[in-house]
Amino acid sequence: MFLASVSSGTTSYILAEVESSRGGEYKWGHYMLTIADCRRHIQLEFFLGTVRARRESLRKLDLLLKVLGSFRKALLTEAQAINEYERSAKRTKGKPQKSTKGKKIGPIGHIGPI
């Protein structure tokens, strides 16, 4: 699935590959998540061959979803702040306002000052 519109001219995409286990019979399948943005790409493997690996793969996916949710929330907040600032600047003809410190989302989804 492409992440950017065709008109952007970029090749950002996400690809989720889940090989069938044939009803649980075949546990050595291919389970990969690929995320690409222009020239950069990452591949995350989710191995299901052992009980421990299945548990760790599901935990990894849950954490990834949690961090992405936190990132979305922070990004939305910043986008709204920028929109409000731009509207305010147009009304006051560019009068500068106080800047805010950036926020960083840590490895477990913590949001705090950089």
DSSP 8: G
pLDDT at residue number 2: 84
The pTM score is: 0.72
In the block, residue with structure tokens 């929109």: 83
Extract the residue ranges of the chain whose pLDDT is less than 70.
94-114
Instruction: Write the CA distances from 30 to 3, 46, 49, integer angstroms.
Output: 23, 8, 10
Structure confidence by residue, pLDDT tens digits, 98-112: 555 666 666 655 666
Q: Which amino acid is at 93?
A: K
